[in-house]
Amino acid sequence: MSPEKSSGGLTEYIVHHLTHNTAQVSGLTFHVDSWVIALTVGLLGCFLLWSQARKATAGVPSKGQAFVEMVVEFVDTQVKDTFHGDRRFIAPLALTIFVWVFFMNAIDLLPLDLPGKAIELAAGKEAAHHTYLRMVPTADINTTFGMSITVFLLIIFYSIKAKGGWGFTKELFTAPFHAHGTFAKILLALPNLFLNLVEYLSKPVSLGMRLFGNMYAGELVFMLIAGLFASWITFVPGVIFNAGWAIFHILIILLQAFIFMVLTVVYLAMAHEHH
């Protein structure tokens, strides 16, 4: 990319950075970059936690061990305050979500053109121009909805586990509007079902859209700053604006990971409660 960008060049620059590296799998479009990067940072997070757990000592902990213990204790406290059932699965799930989403979000702090420069050095400028690689998996709606749908399936599982299959089905038709008498129950069955379906479906939609919207917007702002301040004249202001936005974006990265984790635990706690 040329450092001097016209409005048309800026549009091409942004479109290039917003295009996924795709492959066709069984007639469906598969986002290779989102999958590979999400898997890579997920394994990296597991390795970092495992390495500190393996070296953990009962004496004075190292800085790495102390930091990991602080994160684990923080997540466990959030789960303990929200979920009042058996936490042996929920607490590790919450920790996995928090660490994984944080690492995927944190990719947004890497220099925007770093992948393109690496491809350019390895395979040439022409290859870099035609190779697409979106670095932030959580800025891909497929990633966020994949996670939120998994949470939705867990909500259904815990609802059936707590209430039983018949109890869960009965609740769909008898809550939130309770009625006495057969006719009243039949009359309110469809409105109850409709409201419950809206409530259940709104959870994965809001969970996935919130994370995607925030990370997509943050990624787009980085691209706009990089495009608008890419000439030699505006290089210094561009660095300042990018640094300022990156510092502010750290808060968004942490907050979105925390929100996704907390809402997951809250939704599972709601499903686990006997109505």
Alpha-carbon span 104 to 37, nearest angstrom: 8
Q: How far is CA 35 from CA 31, 153, 214, 249, in A?
A: 6, 21, 19, 23
> What DSSP letter does each residue of 100-169 carry, written as one string?
HHHHHHHGGGS-TTHHHHHHHHHH-HHHHHH------GGGSHHHHHHHHHHHHHHHHHHHHHHHHHHHHH
Residue by residue, DSSP assigns 191-225 as HHHHHHHHHHHHHHHHHHHHHHHHHHHHHHHHHHH
- CA dihedral sign, ordered 137, 139, 142, 146: positive
* Residue found under tokens 């920790």: 95
Three-state SS at 254: helix
Nearest to residue 71, comparing CAs of 215, 257, 230, 244?
A: 257
Q: Which residues are catalytic?
A: 206, 210, 214
Q: Is 88 helix (H, G, I), strand (E, B) or coil?
A: coil
28 CB-contact burial (10 Å; exposed 0-12 / middle 13-18 / buried 19+): exposed
Distance separating alpha carbons of residues 100 and 106, to the nearest angstrom? 10
